[in-house]
Chain A
Amino acid sequence: MHDAVTVSSLVVHRGSREVLRGLSFGVPAGRVTGLLGPSGSGKTTLARAVVGVQRVRSGTVTVLGAPAGSPGLRARVGYVTQAPSVYPDLTVGENARYFAALYGRGAREAAAAVADVGLAGDAGRLVRDLSGGQRGRASLACALVGEPELLVLDEPTVGLDPVLRVELWARFAALAAAGATLLVSSHVMDEAARCDRLLLLRDGDLLADCTPAELRARSGTDDLEAAFLQLVREREQVAA
């Protein structure tokens, strides 16, 4: 299994604060990798580094064989920010068609992406008139429309009802099955079970890089939330 993303010794400072403290890991291709950790652990910063919009202090991020953010990657990597980043004064369809054009796709692909996130019936509505969850899905459609080889999603399920969350995770699995690589951040530990691989982040350190099964086995519990807490305690005891 080769890696779609290789991060080595990545250090990121924001202001005087060290947000990522020398991370090294790989994101396997064709899999759903979960980036989990509490709010403020550095998930968004890491996602931004992978798509190449984060200024980094040291270390390297290699994406699909090229340095993160290089021009040739921009058609192959999709990024969905935590806050829905679509134009509120355009309709869902207009948003999708604009991003489709940027990725060299047409209106047909735009309509398909909108349908994929369950908004086909809302394509003609202005984004500002949608609910928060619908906006998030409109934002997702604008990344799906480019059929990216790597999809970086920052907390895509926040504010979604449980039914939609399950649907979305099924969609992520389907994309991975079709060959795409997904890096999905979340602060909800029960979503970890849906990932092929987990990266557990806390205070800019990588606590674990394993599969959900490995995490359960290592901590001796089926509850991933409890497993995460146990890892944190172990780390604190080592430090003390």
Chain B
Amino acid sequence: MTTALSPRLTAATTGRVLRQLRHDHRTIAMMVLLPSLLLGLLYLLWADLPAPPGTPSTFDRVGLTMLGVFPFVVMFLVTSIAMLRERTSGTLERLLTTPLSRPALLLGYGAAFGLAAAAQALVTVTVATTLYDLDLAGPLWAVVLIAVVTTALGVALGLLASAFARSEFQAVQFMPVVVLPQFFLCGLLVPREQMAGWLQAISDVLPLTYAVEALQEVGRSPEPTGTMWADVGVVAGAALLALALAAATLRRRTD
């Protein structure tokens, strides 16, 4: 009998996905460098704009949040395409006939892209705080942690979305569906307390809201706050829930 979640098979799958990435140098380069370059563009955009006295500069406020949003978006897309490829190439069907369980497959994917996200976050946070003078009160490790957990959410949502995509065209269009409403309502464009009540209620149930709030907490206070930890917990919980839903929607028997 196979156990539902064999750590050995999960690790083998994580290793396999990372090996696939390793053979794709351009993807690695883009994953590591792209968020830093985009952040640089934002830095230059606001560089000469004076901030009202007593408030953080626009770049400090938005740039910090982007450390969570960029990897979330990128990993959502990468994962949903990777899973769709697995489905259309027949390898998924084959995997379903092996001892690898569905949760182990998805967790293996999640761990692989989570590790890639950690590397990406380390580079981006380092570049942001040194090259772009991003000011934050809290510790760097907290930013990396939040970025990784947020990316894990992107990975899990990507795996879930790929279950509903029959083609690459559909998969790509799930990105604006899943990502943009969360981005609009996360409190970055309009502070959450100034939103209409019903929009705020929607914002309350969208996980990206908590990722952004956690990053803002790190930006404000020198020590990790209880709110930050609660936010990280909510995002991690949402990621696990999405993974469980993805496993449930992944059918072993199909027509």
Contacts and interface: CB of A to CB of B under 8 A. Distances in A.
Interface of A: 13-15, 48, 51-56, 69, 71-72, 74-75, 77-79, 81, 83-90, 94, 98-99, 101-104, 126, 142, 146
A112 to B, nearest CB: 18
Contacts of B23: 89-90, 126
A90 B2 contact: no
Contacts, number: 86
B93 A89 contact: no
Contact of B20 (A81, A90, A142): A90
Given A74-B99, A126-B23, A102 B93 contact: no
A84 B253 CA distance: 20
A51 B98 CA distance: 10
A1 to B, nearest CB: 26
A79 B253 CA distance: 15
Q: How large is the interface on B (under 10, 10 to 19, 20 to 34, 35 or more residues)?
A: 20 to 34
Nearest to B3: A71
Interface string B211-255: 000000000000000000000000000000000000000001111
B2 A85 contact: no
B166 interface: no
A15 B12 contact: no
Contacts of B12: 98, 101-102
11 contacts: A48-B93, A54-B254, A55-B255, A74-B99, A81-B94, A85-B93, A85-B94, A87-B20, A98-B15, A102-B99, A104-B99
Interface string B9-26: 100110110011001100
List 4 tightest A-B contacts by C-beta distance, closest first.
Answer: A85-B90, A101-B12, A98-B16, A85-B94
Given A52-B253, A98-B16, A75 B91 contact: no
Interface string B91-132: 101111111100000000000000000000000000000000
A79 B90 contact: no
Given A14-B255, A101-B8, 19 more contacts: A51-B97, A55-B255, A69-B253, A74-B98, A75-B2, A75-B98, A81-B90, A86-B91, A87-B16, A87-B20, A87-B89, A87-B91, A89-B23, A94-B16, A98-B13, A98-B15, A102-B95, A102-B99, A142-B94
A136 B98 CA distance: 18
Contacts of A87: 16, 20, 89, 91
Given A85-B89, A87-B91, A102 B20 contact: no
B49 interface: no
A69 B2 CA distance: 13
A138 B97 CA distance: 17
